[in-house]
Amino acid sequence: MSRPSPLNADLHCHSIVSDGTLAPAELAERAHAQGVDLWALTDHDELSGLTEAGLAAHALGMRFVPGVEISVSFASQTVHIVALGVEPDNTELLQGLQHIRSGRDQRARDMAHDLERHLGLPDVYAGALRYAGNPALLSRTHFARYLVEQGVCRQTHEVFTRFLTPGKPGYVDHAWARMEEALGWIAAAKGVAVIAHPGRYRFSATEEWALLEQFKSLGGQAIEVVTGSHTNSQYRKYANLALEFGFYASRGSDFHSPGESVCDLGRLPPLPADLAPVWDLLH
């Protein structure tokens, strides 16, 4: 007898409300077409796509989890915390996210000035803004799309190797939420906190351990193990860390755009069988 196929959960992706290119309802349709059974929309620092996403998922008969990916500063780096199963009308969460978003515009103007200086391009701020579906959420991805349009790089991922990252032109240091603030908002909104793509950060082993410990001590419950950002060896590494710390495990593509994202919605290996899936905490 064949074993039942595992749930196809995709608990991390982005719409035009942050730095994706599809509308929330278009993402729902794409997720459903790719065979996703349990789907979360997790725009950066923003909840305003959740109503449309939830309605579209419901119409398709696909289980939906309201989510958000929160930008946090930890040990001089940016760490992303995905919150799953949040109450979208929670005032503490809404106000906290509003506060983080409010710093983005000045940051974007500073990034634009630096890129103009290095590249001799005019009007970089206006150019990036044209790519933002939500002007309150101007992100590095929108700058990357503008630099591709201008022929500076061929693909957005190439932009992040030459620009927009620490030490490179267009990078501007920014203070996001503190870990305890973000986890406080998530708890207030009755969500589950998940460390997004832990393999992407440039931490030493000691710093990474400190991140996991602080996150756990503040009530964090899960980490992404299978994500579009991890290699096969990172799946095992973070599976082992999940077991060691007693974290639930999450799975998500981090899909942004058909033209850019290597990993499509739902197109990921299953979670390693020895892990407790984060969806056991979601109802």
Cα–Cα distance between 136 and 117 in angstroms, integer?
A: 24
Evaluate whether 35 touches 8 at the Cβ level (below 8 Å): yes
Which residue in 19, 46, 52, 114 binds ligand AMP (CB under 6 A)?
Answer: 19
213: which 2 tokens?
């410990």
**Sole window of 89-97, 123-131, 138-146, 236-244 interacting with ligand AMP (rule: CB under 6 A):** 138-146
Pairing of strands 63-74, 177-178: parallel
Give the interface size with ligand AMP as a residue count (CB under 6 A).
10
Residue 177 binding: pick among ligand AMP, Mn ion, none (C-beta 5-8 Å cut-off by kind): none
Q: Which is nearer to ligand AMP, 87 or 116 (CB)?
A: 116
**Sole window of 48-56, 91-99, 113-121, 153-161 interacting with ligand AMP (rule: CB under 6 A):** 153-161
Residue 160 binding: pick among ligand AMP, Mn ion, none (C-beta 5-8 Å cut-off by kind): ligand AMP
Q: Does 12 bind ligand AMP (CB under 6 A)?
A: no
Q: Does 22 bind Mn ion (CB under 5 A)?
A: no
Evaluate whether 63 touches 266 at the Cβ level (below 8 Å): no
Using CB under 5 A as the binding rule, the residues of this chain from 78 to 137 that contact Mn ion are: 80
From 9, 39, 44, select the one nearest 256 (Cα to Cα).
44
What is the sign of the dihedral through the CA atoms of 16, 252, 249 and 37?
positive
DSSP 222: E
Alpha helix (H) residue ranges in the chain? 24-33, 50-60, 91-102, 104-119, 124-129, 140-149, 156-162, 179-188, 205-217, 232-245
Q: Does 42 bind ligand AMP (CB under 6 A)?
A: no
Which residue in 108, 196, 226, 241 binds Mn ion (CB under 5 A)?
Answer: 196
Residue 140 binding: pick among ligand AMP, Mn ion, none (C-beta 5-8 Å cut-off by kind): ligand AMP
Q: Which residues bind ligand AMP (CB under 6 A)?
A: 19, 44, 71, 139-141, 156-157, 160, 256
